Amino acid sequence: MLFNSFAFLFGYLPIVLAGYFLLDRLTSSASWRLAPAVWLALASLFFYAWWDVRYLPLLLASICVNYGAGRLLGASTGAARKRVLVAALALNLGLLAYYKYANFFIDSVNAVAVAAGAGAGSLPWHGLDIILPIGISFFTFTQIAFLVDCYRGEVREYRFIHYVLFVSYFPHLIAGPVLHHRDMMPQFADPANAHPRAANFAIGLSIFTIGLAKKVLIADNLSPLAIPVFAAGATPTLIEAWIGVLAYTFQLYFDFSGYSDMAIGLSRLFGVKLPLNFNSPYKAANIADFWRRWHMTLSRFLRDYLYIPLGGSRHGEALRYRNLMLTMLLGGLWHGAGWTFVIWGGLHGLYLVLQQAWQRAFGAARGYCWLRWWPCVLTFLAVMLAWVFFRAPDVATAWDITGALLGANGVSLPRGLASHAASLAQWGLHPAFDGIRWIELAGPGLPVLLGAMLLAFKAPNTQEIFFLYEPAIERIFQPTGRWAFSWRPTRRWSVGFAALFVACIFGMNRVTEFLYFQF
């Protein structure tokens, strides 16, 4: 069930909301105060089962085993405690490795065998018939963080129903954000959050509508420009490559930003504040700033549970660079089982190493991004280049598109620009039109791309519109902290958002999955 589907908007969501608040009203006694949380947990499990009911037992087994391991960690001491942690982490990572990486490993071994001269009939292994359970990366990472914090003695909440809800909570379950128990479980345990509030509905529906518009009106309309360029064997020319890569760069931006907004808005309807996960990353002045703004909860997880345990920056520059590379390589592999994702992670690791080395040698760049524009442009181009490998179906296609961006496949124009040949000829230009025929520049794609670029670079983001928050990065991740409204609904605002929602409904002629669902 997709957030941008009619079944969700007009079926699932109203029923879950009505049941949640009705149970709060009907069960005022202390013995029934968990009823709204139980209802929301059951609704979240149903939401997951809607995708493929065969994997619901897998999710439930993962929840039960990890909850039991967390309780055991809390009761254990010394070496026994460490053994429990190692066993629980091995089980989680083993499950993730089987479902997500088994075929990647088999394909890599077979590729090496073929390169060594083995025939097709003598390959070491055959691929496994595995269907990736949706959301497995997110609920696995969420529980790994919980286990590590149990080992560190940082967990105080062990109520089972709150843990089930913490892992399976439907606004985040499929594509994040990566939740932390410290932020979420106290909110699930607070009975006041089950009381309906007009402010929560006003801001929740507004943020959800903005996210829906990002997905339906922007991201989905950029997809037709990107798909033909990234097709295997497409060999795009210079302008086609730039159009396709830019289209995917902003498609992913608005698709993921839209999902993050929709998740925050949906959760706010239930009185629960999710952590921010997206903060105008294309405005970043350097690559470290980009990772403080892009998929913020994943960046925090990689920092706290991988980079710092590896040693962080505590043991000299050489080991710091090693830790950065390892963190980003594993972060790339987390996104997908393929060498393209490994290269994408390696590129970002290299970017971070180069940035740290530059700052060590010459000092950090001074001034704001809008006063010194070149760091923003350089960062954006580096990120865009890495997205080529992130999106491409294989390494060969990624290299071909990278070469096309530099003109290796020629500079002919797409056929959609043929009508402008006469005006170009006036300037002494006589371009050929041998490009990819399927790019439809006459449609909404190109104007939407230009509008998307303007919004990403110049418009305020969602939290800048709705919230004032302390600038410290850690405060952003603490939704129970000191937040203040900078916005109040007005009649004009309500009419405008109603019109935007109706436009999204009419734009949902084809319901598409969010790009991060594949991870």
Residues annotated as catalytic are: 335
User: How many Å apart are CA 201 and CA 170, to the nearest integer?
Assistant: 18
Give the residue from 432, 430, 457, 449 showing the smallest Cα distance to 229.
449
Q: CA 173, CA 178: separation in Å to the nearest integer? A: 9
- Please tell me the distance from the alpha carbon of residue 407 to that of residue 125, in angstroms, as a whole number: 40
Residue 126 exposed, middle or buried by CB count within 10 Å (0-12, 13-18, 19+): exposed
Cα–Cα dist 27/35, whole Å: 7
Residues in the chain, overall count: 519
Q: Compute φ and ψ for 292, nearest 5 degrees.
A: -80, -10
Contact by Cβ (8 Å): 412, 432:
yes
Distance CA 13, CA 403 (A): 46
Cα–Cα distance for residue pair 112/344, rounded to 1 Å? 21
For residue 291, give Cα distances in angstroms to 88, 215, 313, 349, 455: 29, 22, 17, 11, 20
Are 35 and 23 a contacting pair, CB within 8 Å? yes
Backbone angles phi, psi at 278, to 5 degrees: -155, 125
CA 206 to chain centre: 21
Contact predicate 5/268, CB 8 Å:
no
